[in-house]
Structure 1
């Protein structure tokens, strides 16, 4: 059996980096995924202006080591990325002695589906490159 998740969506905020006492760098960011809302007959719902209505879910993505370093350097709010990793559940007791639960995605790979911080600055510095010229 395998714990595998693949998500594609938009980054919600610039990644945050922290370092553990042992020196491991951890990079975290939020990822929004959306799907169309449907009525009881399975038809896609539309708003008054004719645009489809979507359900958005937020996911906490955690990256370590090289993946985390690349994400911290290149990913920015609004960028489209695909994350391949695994689901990780956590349980802890807070300061008020209440048991809490959480879930996060531990990323093994993050693929850039749109330009991030580094690619945008490279493009500006080099006078503009075609999409085929910029590696993701």
Structure 2
């Protein structure tokens, strides 16, 4: 059995980090991916600017400990990243007692495909520029 996710997309908002009571670091990011939009006939079409219209999907991604610390330190909104991880589903009860469900990606690896806009990423892991 396999639970493997590979995404290439842009970070939709700056990373948010929190620390658990046990001292673990958890960093959350949202990664947006695009694909060509299709009309009712299943064909791609152009938007009002003449570009191929796109549908966007936002993916909740969670990074733990060292990986999360690197993502928080070196990533910013708009940066292109590649990530590998697994899908994680959760279930809980809200304050009113209703069952709630969630889906996110637990990242095992995040590669920075572009440099951060806010800093020069000094000390960041190298970017493959093949």
TM > 0.5: yes
| Number of corresponding residues | 125
Larger Rg: 1
Matched with 1:32 is: 32
Provide TM-score, normalisation by structure 2.
0.89
Q: RMSD over aligned Cα, in angstroms?
A: 1.7
List gaps (5 residues or longer) in structure 2: none
Determine if the alignment matches structure 1 residue 135 to structure 2 residue 120: no
Structure 1 stretches (4+) deviating beyond 6 angstroms?
none
Provide TM-score, normalisation by structure 1.
0.85
SS in structure 1 of the partner of residue 97 of structure 2: coil
Query: Is the 8 Å Cα contact of residues 76 and 118 (structure 2) preserved in structure 1?
Result: no
Query: Is the 8 Å Cα contact of residues 74 and 121 (structure 2) preserved in structure 1?
Result: no
Alignment CA distance shift 1:37-1:117 (3 Å)? closer
After superposition, the C-alpha distances for 1:109-128 in whole angstroms (9 at most, x for unaligned) are 00011102686254xxxxxx
User: Which structure is higher in helix share?
Assistant: 1
